Amino acid sequence: ATPVGLLAGTGRASQLGILVRGPEVLEDSRTVDTIVLDKTGTVTRGEMRLAEAARAPGSPVAADDALLALAAAVEDGSEHPIARAVVAAARERGLALPEAVDFASEAGGGVHALVADGHGGRLRVAVGRGSFIGSLLGPEAISADAAAAFEASEAAGRTAVWVAVDGRLAGHLAVEDTVRETSADAIGRLRRMGLRPLLVTGDNAAVARAVAAQVGIAAEDVVAGVRPEDKVAVVARLQAEGATVAMVGDGVNDAPALARADVGIAMGTGTDVARQAAQITVMGSDLTQVVQALELSQRTLGIIR
Ligand code: ADP
Ligand code: MG
């Protein structure tokens, strides 16, 4: 390949709103045969809306709105799409967010902070997935009744998270996201280019399968419930099986997998960390541009060969 052809390719890419880190990236992209897609914010809009705030049996919190306000106080410190939905819902309901200090987050797990209780004291409030809350409260904290309500909301295709207050299970929140209008078409084009698309997510299997079905990804190509460090393992396993892998993502949790992939592609609307880890960044938030980037790499070399 001549550098001139590749440079022309990167120039054409930038006209399309696709930033390519160096001419050689287009050459690497040409050999990609497998494409791993992050779900939230990549295939879906990543704009979640709160669908449910429900106290657990025996909750230390007096009302569902109080549960939401405490959770929102903590989530105000997080950039996660779930966090944004929780804070937005609390504001829409006109709830005052109590002051929160000592915020901490675990990527792909959840968040916690000390939240003012309104009486001069503070409550330790945590919001996150079952394994995260289980690691804080112990596995017995989640009763069968509470788990049934949580699982019912996941079975409805929602993403549910637990809320714990001062070491006790307080309830759960559930959010809903929507698939981007262009995702199914873009994934169809990737398939016709000969690529195998996989969906990888930290989210639960019910949501992941529902999204996969909407965009034409086979159930066996869905990897759900993965922790951020395990997204890298998914990429590495595919590589060990002989695949040349592109990874597409937007989140902090996607960065290691973006770096590990043969070609990392970040959504422009995603986090700085994801963009820095990737070799290609598409300006918008649309998988169509990912298709264009890969088509361009095929065409660029096609011309100069
Ligand atoms: P995805 O791969 O879909 O982008 P993440 O790895 O970011 O998902 O998150 C995986 C799971 O971790 C979420 O579904 C949620 O249960 C939990 N989680 C992560 N961050 C938060 C947060 N700020 N608030 C509540 N739960 C969170
Ligand atoms: Mg994401």
Q: pLDDT per position in the chain (305 positions), as tens?
A: 456 677 788 888 888 899 999 888 988 899 999 999 999 899 999 889 999 999 999 999 999 999 999 999 999 999 898 999 999 999 999 999 999 999 999 988 999 999 999 899 999 999 999 999 999 999 788 999 999 999 999 888 899 999 999 999 999 999 999 999 999 999 999 999 999 999 999 988 989 998 999 999 999 999 999 988 899 999 999 999 999 999 999 988 899 999 999 999 999 988 899 999 999 999 988 999 999 999 988 887 555 44
What's the gap in Å between 254 CA and the centre of ligand 2? 7
Q: How far is the CA of 286 from the centre of ligand 1 (A)?
A: 21
pLDDT value at residue 282:
95
**78 in the same domain as 137:** yes
Distance 100 CA to ligand 2 centre (A): 26
pLDDT at position 300: 73
Residues 90 and 190 in one domain: no
| 60 and 159 fall within a common domain | yes
> Which residue's CA is the nearest one to ligand 1's atom 14?
203
Q: Using CA positions, which residue lies closest to atom 26 of ligand 1?
A: 128
Cα 168 to ligand 1 centre (Å): 21
Shared-domain flag, residues 16 and 54: no
> Which residues' Cβ are closer than 6 Å to ligand 1?
38-40, 75, 78, 80, 82-83, 108-111, 127-129, 159, 161, 201-203, 228, 251, 253
**The domain boundary residue, chosen from 144, 176, 208:** 176
Domain holding 31: CATH number? 3.40.50.1000
What is the sign, positive or negative, of the torsion defined by CA atoms of 184, 190, 195, 200? negative
Residues 6+ apart with CB under 8 A from 207: 39, 154, 157, 158, 159, 177, 201, 224
Question: How many domains does the structure of the chain reveal?
Answer: 2
* pLDDT at residue 239 in the model: 98
Q: Are residues 108 and 222 in the same domain?
A: no
Instruction: For residue 113, give the CATH number of its domain.
Output: 3.40.1110.10
Report which protein residue has its CA nearest ligand 1's atom 22. Answer: 110
Determine the Cα–Cα distance for residues 207 and 188; give it in Å rounded to an integer: 20
Active site residue 38: yes
Q: Which residues contact 298 (CB under 8 A, 6 or more apart)?
A: 30, 193
Residues 222, 137 within the same domain: no
Answer yes or no: do 105 and 28 share one domain: no
Q: Write down which residue in 118, 152, 176 finishes a domain.
A: 176
Phi, psi of 182 (to 5 degrees): -90, -5
Could you report the predicted ipTM of this complex, rounded to two decimals? 0.95
67 plus 142 within the same structural domain: yes
* 268, burial (CB in 10 Å: exposed 0-12, middle 13-18, buried 19+): middle
Assess whether 87 and 195 both reside in one domain: no
All residues with CB under 5 Å from ion ligand 2 = 38, 40-41, 250-251
The ligand that comes nearest to the alpha carbon of residue 200 is 1
C-alpha–C-alpha distance, residues 33 and 18, integer Å:
20
Residues 203 and 163 in one domain: no
pTM assigned to the model: 0.78
Report the residue among 203, 204, 223, 271 best suited for mutation to probe ligand 1: largest number of ligand atoms under 8 A from its CB.
Answer: 203
Ligand nearest to the CA of 81: 1
Please check whether residues 159 and 105 belong to one and the same domain: yes
- Relative to the CA of 79, which ligand 1 atom is closest? 23
Task: Residue 232: give the domain boundaries.
Answer: 3-46+179-304
Query: Which one of 145, 176, 207 terminates a domain?
Result: 176
* pLDDT for position 3: 60
Residue 35, both tokens = 């494409």
Both 163 and 67 in one domain: the answer is: yes
